[in-house]
Amino acid sequence: MSPSQCRQTLGEEKVLLERYYQIAIEAQLQHADVFGTRDPEIIRAAVIYLLPVCSGEIAASTSAFVGALIHNAQAAGINDFDGHDQELSLETQFRKQLWCQLLLLDIRTREERGSASLLQGGASENALPVDVNDHEIHGQDQQRPSWTDSTFSLIRMECYKTRCQVQDLSNGLRLGYITTDVAAAKLDERKRWIEHRYLNGLNQNEPLQRCAFHTGQIMVSSLDLLLFEERIHWESKIKMRCLRAVLTIVENAAVLEQDGSLKQWSWYLRTYQQYKSIFFILVELQRQPRLPEEDMIASALDHIFGRGFDLSLWQRSRQVLQLMRDRLANMLDNSISQDRDTAALPEPSAMPSNPTLWQG
């Protein structure tokens, strides 16, 4: 519902009603003792609440909330999957889906806050949901369709598992145990498996499947940047590989943003757009003004930063970086000023008290 439709139909501003709704949900979660519960249904309700919250900027309190939910889920045994028990049931599938969503929230909040995941390696093969529709949970002998109720989650979870493997490869590169060629080959093998297993069979005519395809392309491409972020400028072939990865990320992110049929999921897709990856290209243009794929780079910069008329790529990149530098300097100056103003306040004991502030 658009803001104008909301005003006409409900008589209130959309942003105000959303805030009222959020406050009501938070009150109900608090009433249900969400920070101490072991009830899977309450944990699931909290996960549903957190999904839109984590699509934007992540606060420290949100990261702590996710950590508390993970602790409660572990205490409730939601992640206790017996490897010898092959019986498939709705209850088992539900626990696996819930645990996977918690893993995804964990990595999302930890990356945003710049801290390590609480659950490195927590996405074991046995913890993944089975790729079947919920209403066909007992039809294990049927041929697996290319799209089920679990496919979107599985795409993200397979990419999450691969991120953990990439961390191991990155450590091997840093310690000299493997070469960049070996690491790239191992990553390519894993990426091909994800694309063959999930992405290649998706129906581009179905909006949700198209959404999953472009999201998967972004997540798969970001693995290259994660693996080679410390070696981007060491070898030209690694640099070109990361350049192609960034362009793939931006191209698919633009589709997710501009495709009108995906508008209903726009609140969620912001999580995966990763436009920040373009800064690799901005910096690289200052090192090397002439890069391959100049038309695609120009289109990417136009989409993110607006049209740059009569400017070369080098000039565009320099302009954007200078603008960012100036804005960052202003932010730092404002932060320092606020700290000084806070330090200048009188001590609480010296401040006049006003008991009416605490009444009614």
pLDDT at 115 over 90: no
- The candidate with the shortest Cα–Cα distance to 94, out of 76, 120, 114, 113, is 76
What is the model's pLDDT at position 357? Answer: 31
The sign one gets for the Cα dihedral 109, 111, 116, 120 is: positive
Distances (CA, A) of 60 to 67, 280, 336: 11, 27, 21
Mean per-residue pLDDT for 21-31?
89
Which pairs with CB-CB distance under 8 Å and at least 24 residues apart come from 51-60?
Answer: 51/101, 51/105, 51/268, 52/267, 52/268, 54/105, 54/108, 54/109, 54/271, 55/267, 55/268, 55/269, 55/270, 55/271, 56/270, 57/112, 58/108, 58/109, 58/112, 58/113, 60/113
Write the DSSP symbol of residue 284: H
Flag the least confident range among 9-18, 34-43, 116-125: 116-125
Q: What is the pLDDT of residue 274?
A: 65
Residues 279-333: tens digit of each pLDDT: 778 888 887 777 777 888 888 888 777 777 778 888 888 888 888 788 878 878 7
Give me the domain span that covers residue 63: 32-128
pLDDT value for 84:
43
Evaluated on CA atoms 247, 253, 259, 262, the torsion sign reads: positive
Residue 92 lies in a domain: yes
120 inside domain: yes
Using CA atoms, how far apart are residues 310 and 316, in angstroms rounded to an integer? 10
Q: What six digits make up the tokens of 206?
A: 């179905």
Dmax over Cα atoms in the chain, in whole Å? 76
- 202 occurs within a structural domain: no
Alpha-carbon gap, residue 88 to 70, rounded angstroms:
23
- Is 0.85 surpassed by the pTM of this model? no
60 inside domain: yes
Distances (CA, A) of 280 to 60, 218, 324: 27, 16, 14
Do 54 and 89 contact (CB within 8 A), yes or no? Answer: no
The angle at the Cα of 325, spanning 322 to 328, to the nearest 5 degrees, equals 150
**Phi, psi dihedrals of residue 262, rounded to the nearest 5°:** -105, 10
User: How many domains does the chain contain in total?
Assistant: 1
In a domain, residue 111? The reply is yes
**Whether the predicted pLDDT of 353 surpasses 70:** no
Residue 212 falls inside a structural domain: no
User: What integer pLDDT is reported at residue 10 of this predicted model?
Assistant: 82
Which residues, at least 6 apart from 49, have a Cβ–Cβ distance to it below 8 Å? Answer: 25, 26, 29
Averaged over 136-142, what is the pLDDT?
58
pLDDT digits (tens, 9 = 90+) for 27-69: 999 999 988 889 999 999 999 888 888 776 777 888 888 888 9
Q: How far is residue 111 CA from its own chain's centroid?
A: 8
* Alpha carbon distance 218, 159 (integer Å): 10
Q: Is residue 341 part of a domain?
A: no
pLDDT higher than threshold 70 for residue 143: no
| 86 domain residue, yes or no | yes
The beta-carbon contacts of 261-270 under 8 Å, at least 24 apart in sequence, are 261/207, 261/210, 262/207, 262/210, 262/211, 265/208, 265/211, 267/52, 267/55, 268/51, 268/52, 268/55, 269/55, 269/211, 269/215, 270/55, 270/56
Write down the mean pLDDT value for the chain.
Answer: 79
